[in-house]
């Protein structure tokens, strides 16, 4: 009888524990918002899903235009503006590196391009929660763009507090991560530009033997500029930029 009583107590306690866990899960699911795609998300996933398409858009524009959203010193090829990363208007002279801090410049370009959209993502998240009857406190804050091999990372310093029916949850240190080779391509473009400025040439064959993930092509334009196209083989993404240096005048 004593053993049966103990087993009954254990079963009751076990059922209570399971009930509490299920209740917590259901409460949390009800508390958290849903993304525009309709899949259950917590606020961190919501922001990540919301801003990633805009990060990709910025990165794709940058690699297609020599690292700038709006190139100033550029050449137009088939209607596309491609920035000069190394340039001189003089004959015979080597080109001058126009952006020796290319990776830092890429970060700043992405940050400027997506800033408003990131604010909109947080505003939309706040509105969705409030429409469901939650009290929402959202702090102001800044964000950093980090470029790393094959990815772009946003570190977002904002705090979100959600309250309803006495339950409160706090979310901070938001992050968004996009798979993209803009960093890898930028490093190669930086190396090509540096060698063009120093030696009026870049030895692409040897480079591609050492770094087989990349294919590098170049062609001369009618204005005697060189257009480089770097292809990241694993993803097919291409970085295009222009160089003009050590130009010999026609007829010589």
Does the pLDDT at position 36 exceed 50? no
* pLDDT 10s digits, 181-236: 999 999 999 999 999 999 999 999 999 999 999 999 999 998 899 999 999 999 99
Q: Secondary structure of 113-135 in the HEC alphabet? A: HHHHHHHHHHHHHHHHHHHCCCE
Higher per-residue confidence, 227 vs 27: 227
pTM, to two decimals: 0.82
Which range has the worst mean pLDDT, 11-20, 79-88, 192-201?
11-20
- Report which DSSP code applies to 219: E
Cα–Cα distances in angstroms (integers) from residue 193 to residues 4, 13, 110, 198, 239, in the given order: 81, 70, 21, 9, 13
Cβ contact 204:218 at 8 Å: yes
Q: What percent of the chain has pLDDT over 70?
A: 83
| DSSP three-state, residue 227 | strand
Question: Domain segments of the chain: what residues?
Answer: 2-55+108-177, 64-101+182-244
What per-residue confidence (pLDDT) applies to 110? 98
For 100, counting Cβ atoms within 10 Å of its Cβ (0-12 exposed, 13-18 middle, 19+ buried), the class is: middle
Does the pLDDT at position 39 exceed 60? no
- What is the chain's Cα-based Rg? 27
- The whole-chain average pLDDT of the chain stands at 87
């Amino acid at each position: 009888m004593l053993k049966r009583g103990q087993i009954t107590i254990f079963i009751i306690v076990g059922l209570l524990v399971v009930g509490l866990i299920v209740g917590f899960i259901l409460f949390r699911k009800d508390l958290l918002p849903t993304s525009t795609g309709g899949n259950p998300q917590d606020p961190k996933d919501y922001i990540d899903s919301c801003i990633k398409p805009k990060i990709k858009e910025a990165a794709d524009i940058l690699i297609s235009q020599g690292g700038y959203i709006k190139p100033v010193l550029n050449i137009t090829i088939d209607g596309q503006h491609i920035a000069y990363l190394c340039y001189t208007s003089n004959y015979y002279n080597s080109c001058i590196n126009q952006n020796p801090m290319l990776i830092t410049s890429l970060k700043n370009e992405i940050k400027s391009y997506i800033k408003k959209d990131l604010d909109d993502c947080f505003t939309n998240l706040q509105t969705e929660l409030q429409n469901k009857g939650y009290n929402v406190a959202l702090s102001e804050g800044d964000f950093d763009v980090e470029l790393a091999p094959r990815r772009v990372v946003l570190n977002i310093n904002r705090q979100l507090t959600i309250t309803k029916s006495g339950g409160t949850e706090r979310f901070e240190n938001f992050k968004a991560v996009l798979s993209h080779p803009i960093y890898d391509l930028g490093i190669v473009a930086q190396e090509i530009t540096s060698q063009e400025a120093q030696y009026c040439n870049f030895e692409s064959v040897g480079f591609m033997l050492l770094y087989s993930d990349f294919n590098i092509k170049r062609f001369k334009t009618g204005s005697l500029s060189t257009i480089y196209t770097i292809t990241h083989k694993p993803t097919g993404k291409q970085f295009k930029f222009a160089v003009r240096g050590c130009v010999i005048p026609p007829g010589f």
